[in-house]
């Protein structure tokens, strides 16, 4: 199957833009912090992206324009519908892979935030179809294991990018009810019920991958069982603000407008 490039999204009418209320300032700031935290933690570099659902507009999510995560500013945050159309005023290019976010939000009403990255330790699992499984309590969210997405099955030979709603829907279907989906030859996508949780999961998916590979080199790995993983995940969810506040502090006195 030959991969066809998707035409650029239609520009929404002025009336459509006016019908979308502005997101809360606090939510915009949090998304800027999320991008910069992911960069500071080495989960993303010049590529990768994070998004969050709009706080009071249905079927709309917030995502930066085509900007390196470590350089995202308040004015870079754009509102998109699930089809990848900008529904707030912008003249900037969008991310090619905004369809990852839109289709996951469409398929998973429970998901509030999405992080897509190419963190290096996760990729070996994606290319060998070995699932990530929790080896320590900080990764209890991986108790069901990671899903695996093979883009050839959905789009044939491609440039590996999720650059259409069709491929985004295929990825979302593969994700199913999991918290993490590995993307062969590409990276991974994690989801959360809050932006802080999605960032936490992206960071600890990478950490777990490193530990899982190190443990396998030494011998048989004893993974957390399903109950241990759930109990650990529940415990850690209550502790995420402690880590989030530290990550924000590590950024220093940043100006979110620069």
Q: Give catalytic residues, as residue numbers.
A: 97
Indicate the Cα dihedral angle 12, 64, 116, 111, nearest 10°.
-60
Q: Where are the beta strands (DSSP E) in the chain?
A: 49-53, 60-64, 77-81, 113-117, 147-149, 180-183, 187-192
24-28: long-range contacts at Cβ-Cβ below 8 A with a sequence spacing of 24 or more?
Answer: 24/55, 24/56, 27/52, 27/54, 27/55, 27/62, 27/195, 28/62, 28/74, 28/77
Round to the nearest angstrom and report the end-to-end CA distance of the chain: 44
């Amino acid at each position: 199957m030959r991969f066809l490039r998707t035409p650029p999204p239609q520009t929404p009418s002025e009336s459509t833009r006016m019908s979308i209320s502005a997101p809360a300032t606090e939510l915009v700031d949090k998304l800027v912090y999320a991008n910069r935290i992911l960069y500071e933690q080495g989960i993303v570099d010049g590529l990768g992206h994070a998004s969050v659902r709009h706080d009071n507009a249905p079927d709309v999510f917030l995502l930066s324009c085509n900007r390196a995560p470590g350089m995202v500013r308040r004015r870079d945050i754009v509102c998109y519908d699930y089809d990848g159309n900008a529904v707030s005023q912008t003249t900037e290019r969008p991310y090619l892979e905004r369809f990852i976010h839109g289709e996951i939000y469409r398929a998973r009403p429970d998901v509030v935030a999405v992080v897509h990255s190419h963190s290096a330790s996760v990729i070996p699992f994606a290319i060998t179809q070995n699932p990530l499984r929790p080896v320590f309590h900080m990764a209890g969210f991986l108790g069901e294991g990671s899903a695996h997405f093979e883009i050839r099955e959905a789009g044939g030979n491609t440039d590996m990018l999720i650059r259409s709603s069709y491929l985004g829907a295929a990825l979302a279907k593969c994700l199913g009810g999991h918290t993490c989906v590995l993307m062969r030859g590409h990276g991974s996508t994690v989801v959360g019920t809050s932006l802080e949780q999605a960032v936490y999961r992206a960071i600890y998916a990478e950490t777990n991958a490193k530990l899982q590979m190190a443990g396998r080199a030494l011998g048989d790995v004893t993974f957390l069982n399903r109950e241990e993983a759930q109990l650990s995940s529940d415990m850690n969810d209550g502790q995420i603000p402690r880590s989030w506040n530290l990550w924000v502090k590590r950024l220093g006195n940043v100006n979110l407008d620069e």
